[in-house]
Amino acid sequence: MEFSTINLILVNVEDNFKFHGRRRLLALELKKKGIVNKQIIKSIESVPRHLFVDPGLSEQAYVDKALPIESNQTISQPYTVAFQTQLLNPVSGEKILEIGTGSGYQTSILCFLKTDVYTIERNHNLFRSTTKLFNRLNINPVRFKYGDGYKGLIDDSPFDGILITAGSQNVPEDLLKQLKVGGRMVVPIGKKIQVMTKITRISINDFKKETFGNFKFVPMLKEKD
């Protein structure tokens, strides 16, 4: 079965009508919770989340909750993924930097939306396993780097959007510098509980900050692991 929009080809992996149906139900649930972007809803219906979790958790993959992955990390709740993506509002062809590749599910959503995805993962075990998964499913971000997300990708900047999938105690100033004028950063800011924050670069030196409620993420850490 081929998900041609993200060039995702399932080879020797299981996807079936049961999982298709669960994705449709999940998409309907997210619409009721306020996800109105039709392309994001379509991405939730199309990207097989059960392939991004341990096979033992596949029956829970389309419940709207976070699930554990390796290295004491999590795959975010589908609503959170959709909400962050909707705040970022990526447009086809834009350069998007993702900080915290994790399982690769959010990366795949961004690829589905036909953005040029640059993504960084600091945990080497996750980097290796997600690299294998991307190869297996033919998911091709422009760049997938093992490195310190706080540093971003200065050589590839500026970016139209930066999406941070871990909780940062403060606004990552080095990443703000990598935004284009008009670019947006979506980042959860705080310690135990984070406030979802959207920062728009409105000029070389000026930024607009908006907040969108409380969430809970694993912490954003410096340096490689």
CB 187 within 8 A of CB 168: yes
- pLDDT above 60 (res 157): yes
Tens-place pLDDT, residues 62-120: 999 999 998 889 999 999 999 999 999 999 999 999 999 999 999 999 999 999 999 99
Point out the least confidently predicted range of 5-9, 51-55, 113-117, 196-200. Answer: 5-9
Strand order in the sheet with 116-121: 143-146, 116-121, 95-99, 159-164, 179-189, 194-201, 207-215
- Residue 180 binned pLDDT confidence (cut-offs 50, 70, 90): very high
CB 52 within 8 A of CB 105: yes
Point out the least confidently predicted range of 13-22, 186-195, 206-215. Answer: 13-22
Cα distance between residue 57 and residue 37, in whole Å: 28
Cα distance between residue 23 and residue 65, in whole Å: 13
- pLDDT above 70 (res 9): no
Q: What is the pLDDT of residue 13?
A: 52
CATH of range 2-215; options 3.30.1330.10, 3.40.50.150, 3.40.1160.10, 3.30.420.10: 3.40.50.150
Question: β-strands 143-146, 116-121: how paired?
Answer: parallel
Q: Which of 4, 43, 58, 76 is catalytic?
A: 76
- pLDDT above 70 (res 2): no
Is 181 buried (19+), middle (13-18) or exposed (0-12) by CB count in 10 A? exposed
Cis peptide before 172 (omega within 30 of 0): no
Q: What is the pLDDT of residue 222?
A: 78
Instruction: Clarify whether 76 is annotated catalytic.
Output: yes
126, two tokens: 């996750």
Q: Where are the domains of the chain?
A: 2-215
- pLDDT above 80 (res 225): no
CB 184 within 8 A of CB 161: yes
pTM of the predicted model, to two decimals? 0.92
